[in-house]
Amino acid sequence: MGCCHHYFAQTTDGDNAFTIDASTLTFGAGCLKEAGDQAKALGMMKVGIYTDKGVRKLPPIETVTSSLDAAGIDYAIYDEVKVEPTDESFKAATRFAVEGKFDGFISVGGGSVMDTCKAANLYSTYPADFLTYVNAPIGAGKPIPGSLKPHIACPTTSGTGSEATGVAIFDLLAIKSKTGIQSRRLKPTTGLIDPEIARTLPSTIVASTGFDAMSHALETLTGVSYARRARPPRPSLRPLSQGANPFSDTVAFEALGLIGKYLVRAVNDASDSEARAEMMYAATLAGIAFGNAGCHLPHGMSYAVSGLVREYHAPHYPQHEPFVPHGMSVVLNAPSVYRFTAAACPDRHLDAARRLGADVRGAAPKDSGEALSGQIIKFMRATKFPGGLTSIGFSERDLDALVEGTWPQQRVLRNAPREVTRDDLRELFRGAMAYW
C-alpha cells in the first residue's frame, strides 16, 4: 500500500515489536457441513452448541446438528444467548456449560453468540469471580491461566469478525457500561464461514454488520502505530489491541477493497449472492485486522450511543426494548471522527478513502478527512441508513451524557492516532448529529 513506513518508526518508550495473530478459518459455500468432522478432529465427544432464539429457527442449526449426528458426536443446544450480552447473560451461559460438562463448543450466530460462547468456555474451564478476567480497570484484567476447550465459531452475519478475535464484549449491568475480556486464549480454535448463510439475511442486518466490518478495517488502518504504544512490562503482556502494524494494514486494506465494491450491492439486492459472499469474506478479514490492531474512537463512542438510546427500534432486531444495532452505533460516529483524526495520519485516511472507491486524484493531505468521511456518508446514503445520531433519537441535549458514557473507554480511546479530551469528544458527537 501507499502508506508510509515512517508511521512505524521506532520511538524511545514505544514497543519495538508487534505480534501476528493469524487465524485458522475455513471459508466456502456449504462448509458448515464440515462441523461434525472438524469437531471430531478436535477431539470433541460432547459439544455445547450456543445460539440465540432467532438463529435457532434457521437452517444453519439443522446443518450443524445433522453433521454432528453423522459424526457420532453428542451435543446439547443453548439458545438463550442475549443479543447485546450482559454479565448476567454470560453467567447463565456459563452455568449451562458447567452443567453440560462439554469437551468442546460450537457457536452459531452473530457476534453476541460467539462472544457468549467464548465467555462460557472460559468461566466453565477456569472458574473464577466474574471480574477476574474482565479488562482493567473495571475488572482485574488477570491473564487466562491456560488453553480453553476447543471452540468452532460459525458466524451467521457478515460483520463482527468475532470468529477471528480473542475479544468478548458485554454490558456490565452494575455500571451500565460496555466492557470486555481480551486474550489470545479466548480466540475460537477455528471457524467455519459459510456464505450460503448470507443469502437469507435481512438487508438491515447486512447493512449494520457490513458497516461494522468497514469500521473494523478503517479503525485498524487509522489507529495509533504499535511503535507509539508503551512497551509492555513483559513481552507476553503485549495487548491484543497493539495498534496499527504492517500485518494489520495489509489485511484491513484487502477488506476495505471488498467492502467498497460489494457493501451497497449486498444490502440493496438480496439475490446478489456474489456480493453477499464477498461481504462474508471481507468481514472475516476485517475481524483478523482489528484482532491484530484494536479499534478506536468510532467503537469507543458507540458504547455510549447503544447504552443511551431511548426510542429507536431497528427493523429485524429485537423489538422489546429500544435498540441500536452495533454496526449502526459505530458508523454513525465515523465520519465525524475521521474529520478529526485525519490530521494525525492524512496519508492513511486518503489511502482508505481511495480503497473504498473515492476519487481522490489531486487531493491534498488537508482534504483527507473530508475524502474519507464523504465516502462513508455516500455508502450510508446509498443503503438508506440513518443520517446521524438525530435520526435515531439523540439531540444536542444528550452531548454531556454521550461524553460521560464514552470517557471510561480509555483502553479504546488510547488507540486513536491523536489524543482526545472530553471537549474533543463533545465536538465529535456534535459533528455526528446529522450528516445530511
- Under the rule (CB under 5 A), what is the footprint of Fe ion? 212
Give min distance, CB of 423 to Fe ion, in A: 26
- By the 8 A CB rule, do 75 and 46 touch? yes
Give min distance, CB of 113 to Fe ion, in A: 14
Looking at beta carbons only, is 161 or 386 nearer to Fe ion? 161
Looking at beta carbons only, is 21 or 212 nearer to Fe ion? 212
Looking at beta carbons only, is 87 or 212 nearer to Fe ion? 212
- By the 8 A CB rule, do 373 and 332 touch? no
Give min distance, CB of 416 to Fe ion, in A: 15
Looking at beta carbons only, is 171 or 212 nearer to Fe ion? 212
Give min distance, CB of 99 to Fe ion, in A: 31
Distance CA 330, CA 298 (A): 5
- By the 8 A CB rule, do 171 and 119 touch? no
Task: Tell me the longest C-alpha to C-alpha distance in the chain.
Answer: 63
Looking at beta carbons only, is 167 or 224 nearer to Fe ion? 167
Name the residue with the smallest CB distance to Fe ion: 212
Distance CA 391, CA 332 (A): 10
Looking at beta carbons only, is 102 or 290 nearer to Fe ion? 290
Give min distance, CB of 320 to Fe ion, in A: 23
Give min distance, CB of 211 to Fe ion, in A: 9
Give min distance, CB of 415 to Fe ion, in A: 13
Looking at beta carbons only, is 49 or 301 nearer to Fe ion? 301
DSSP track, 384-434: T---SGGGGT--GGGHHHHHHHHTT-HHHHTTSSS---HHHHHHHHHHTS-
Distance CA 14, CA 11 (A): 5
Distance CA 284, CA 156 (A): 11
Distance CA 247, CA 249 (A): 5
- Those residues whose C-beta lies under 8 Å from the C-beta of residue 397, and which sit 6 or more positions away, are none
